[in-house]
Amino acid sequence: MLNTKPSEPTEEQICQYTRAYVLDLFGSMFFADSSRDSVPAMYLQFIQDLDSLEQYNWGGVVLAYLYISLCVAVQRKTKLMSGPTVLLQHWCWSRLPTGRPRPLNDWSPNWGNPNEHEYPAFGDKWCCLHDYRQGHNWSGVSYFRNELQKLEDYMVKWEPYNALLNQIPCKLPLRVIDERGVWLARVPLVHFWIIEHY
């Protein structure tokens, strides 16, 4: 029997697979639209040179796309929501008591004692096992609309990461802490023709 060992991928093959992965992330996660199976060609220019990807403010671009997607969803009489809905879901779960799953174990992730570069991201707290079965599971959209209408300002946890910031040592990745100065920046978020003031 011949021992066939797979050959090492070439640099070009690695780049091709990386481009395909990034393009899939753009179309399915960051800039998803209602087509569900296509990615606009306008993003191809950004993956031609993979080294240039880090020059762009992708967080701002994704937020701009989310904001315009929310505006479109509430203005039109449609049941379609596009954009980075996972980001919106994480934001809601971290701040609003309505519709949030209950963790099966401890509420916060097991941060352990990594170094300051390896602390998990804040959203990692939702990666543990959760119980999604709640009394309102079969209530439909009207239940959630009603619960959201009843929310008062004091019920919203506007800065859920403050507990982590106040710990010594701080339990957020160093790159997040280093960018703390722009957390409350007032800047336009730009995504092609979309300009959202933030």
- Tens of pLDDT, residue by residue over 61-81, are 888 889 888 888 887 676 677
- Residue 22, in any domain of the structure: no
Count how many domains the chain has.
1
- Residue 3, in any domain of the structure: no
The continuous run of DSSP H or E covering 93 comes out as helix 85-95
- Residue 38, in any domain of the structure: no
- Residue 14, in any domain of the structure: no
Q: Whose CA is closest to 117, among 44, 171, 45, 65?
A: 171
CA angle 85, 131, 33 (to 5 degrees): 15
What are the tokens at 173? 């990745």
Cα–Cα dist 60/153, whole Å:
26
- Residue 12, in any domain of the structure: no
pTM for the model: 0.74
Q: Tell me the pLDDT band of 18, cut-offs 50, 70 and 90.
A: very high
pLDDT digits (tens, 9 = 90+) for 94-152: 888 887 777 776 555 555 555 666 667 777 777 777 776 665 555 677 777 888 888 99
Domain range enclosing 91: 57-197
- Residue 19, in any domain of the structure: no
- Residue 45, in any domain of the structure: no
Q: Report which of residues 119 and 93 the model is more confident about.
A: 93
- Residue 100, in any domain of the structure: yes
